[in-house]
Each structure stands twice: as C-alpha cells, then as structure tokens.
C-alpha cells in the first residue's frame, strides 16, 4: 500500500524559506506518475502548488511560481518543496499527493496526512 | 485559471437522505473532474474521477455525472460517515483548481 508522509518545520519566520519533504513508501517516485503538493489554509479550501513527473519535469501554480521549487530525490524516494520569502498567508496544512490511476490527466489518488506550517515571528 | 464553483456551500441533511452537490467550471474541462471527501483533520479522499468513475473501495452510494462545464455528485442513502466537506477539482489543465467546498452537515 502506497504511503506518503510529510515532514518539516512547523514554524517558519517571515521572509525565510519553507522547506518540506515527503517520504514515499510502498512505491517509488521513479515510477511513471506525477507527484504534487497541495495546501490548505486553516478553515479554507485547497490550493494546488506544483507537481513533478518522475523524469523531473515540473509544473507550478503561476500564483506561487516565483517562490516555489519542487523536486524529487530518487535515491531517498522523496519529493521536496521549497517556498521562499514566506509570508503569513503561506500558513497552511501542506499535503503531498500522487496523481495516479489508469486515466489520462489523473486525479490525486494518494495523499499524505498533511503537515501544518505556521509562518510567524 | 479555470474557476470551479460549487453549490451549495453548505447543506443540511438526514441519515438516509439523497443529496446532490453541483460543480461548475468556468470553461469546458471535458470530463477531467474529480470529487474528494474531507473530514476534519484528515487529508482529502478521492471518491470519483473522470466525472463518473468510482474510485476503488468507495461505496456505490456515491456517483458522479456531467461533462464540459456542469457536474454533479450524488450521495444516495446518506450514512453517518458521509457528513464531511466535499470538493471538486479539475485536472484538465494546470494550474489545477478546486471548488470552494460543500460542507454536508447533519440536520
């Protein structure tokens, strides 16, 4: 059974870089899927941040593109997210997820449990 | 960006009821529409993909329909565990976008 687990600091100071890791078990980030990050501010809806294909090809939400970097590390079976110049509005639960299934333009079928990141001084 | 608009934003119903949630896209997304269920403190769970395909393990009381810009999620015979927030999401093009959510509450 595929499992995803996010990890990283729960508190980030404004203007610093938010860095998160998602460890994948029960499967490989090298397999032919897209892997992504989605966030959810407290009490609000879901926002797609970025995704990365197993080849390393990336796609970003234009609203965050100038500050975001997504990558995969096949040796550690992980994907990572870096969000620079953090602001209070970046406070959210961050989820990693797989886009998978035998379907074109697939949905997010596996999700991590999420990790709350608070941006505050 | 493609805007996804759900209605209603909240809904009260009773166990055993049939409910329908709608999702409208600001432009045609063919059938690249998914539905997710989220309970408090948990990650979203995929229910429906491709507008009408039931994800493995999801009860058959959940169904989806629609194409192009208008979609519906129907839950027949509501069970206590179905009271949650539901989101639609388009995967037609990036940036992928979600509806604002529909909170289904117990009447």
Instruction: Report how far residue B48's alpha carbon sits from residue B41's, in angstroms, rounded to the nearest whole number.
Output: 21
Q: Chain B residues contacting A, CB < 8 Å? A: 1, 32, 34, 36, 42-46, 49-50, 53, 55, 87, 89, 91-92, 94-101
Please give chain A's pLDDT, 121 residues, in tens.
999 999 999 999 999 999 999 999 999 999 889 999 999 999 999 999 999 998 889 999 999 999 999 999 999 999 999 999 999 999 999 999 999 877 778 999 999 999 999 999 9
**Residue A3: closest CA among A71, A97, A84:** A97
Flag if A46 and B98 touch (Cβ within 8 Å): yes
pLDDT value, residue A100:
85
pLDDT value, residue A54:
86
User: B87-96, pLDDT tens digit by residue?
Assistant: 999 999 999 9
Instruction: Report how far residue A94's alpha carbon sits from residue A82's, in angstroms, rounded to the nearest whole number.
Output: 12
User: B40-62, pLDDT tens digit by residue?
Assistant: 999 999 999 999 999 999 999 99
pLDDT value, residue A49:
98
Residue B59: how many other CB atoms lie within 10 Å: 13
| Mean of pLDDT values over B2-29 | 98
Q: Chain A residues contacting B, CB < 8 Å? A: 45-48, 51, 59-63, 95, 97, 99, 101, 103-109, 111-114
3-class secondary structure, A90: helix
**Residue A20: closest CA among A68, A56, A65:** A68
Per DSSP bridges, beta strands B102-106 and B10-13 are parallel
**Burial class, A69, CB count within 10 angstroms (exposed 0-12 / middle 13-18 / buried 19+):** middle
3-class secondary structure, A71: strand
């Amino acid at each position: 059974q595929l499992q995803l687990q996010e990890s990283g600091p729960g508190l980030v100071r404004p203007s610093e870089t938010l860095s998160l890791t998602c460890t994948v078990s029960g499967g490989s980030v090298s397999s032919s899927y897209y892997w992504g990050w989605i966030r959810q501010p407290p009490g609000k809806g879901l926002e797609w941040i970025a995704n990365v294909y197993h080849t390393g090809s990336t796609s970003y939400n234009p609203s965050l593109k100038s500050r975001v970097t997504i990558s995969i590390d096949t040796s550690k079976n992980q994907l990572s997210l870096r969000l620079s110049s953090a602001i209070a509005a970046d406070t959210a639960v961050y989820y990693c997820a797989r886009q998978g299934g035998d379907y074109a333009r697939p949905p997010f079928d596996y999700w991590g449990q999420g990790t709350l990141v608070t941006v505050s001084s | 960006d493609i805007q996804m608009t759900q209605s209603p934003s909240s809904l009260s119903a009773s166990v055993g009821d049939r409910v329908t949630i709608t999702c409208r896209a600001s432009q045609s997304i063919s059938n690249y529409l998914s539905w997710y269920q989220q309970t408090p403190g948990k990650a979203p769970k995929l229910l429906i993909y491709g507008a009408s395909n039931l994800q493995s393990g999801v009860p058959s009381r959940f169904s989806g329909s629609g194409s192009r810009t208008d979609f519906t999620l129907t839950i027949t015979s509501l069970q206590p565990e179905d009271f949650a927030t539901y989101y639609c999401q388009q995967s037609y093009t990036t940036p992928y976008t979600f509806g604002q959510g529909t909170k289904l509450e117990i009447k």
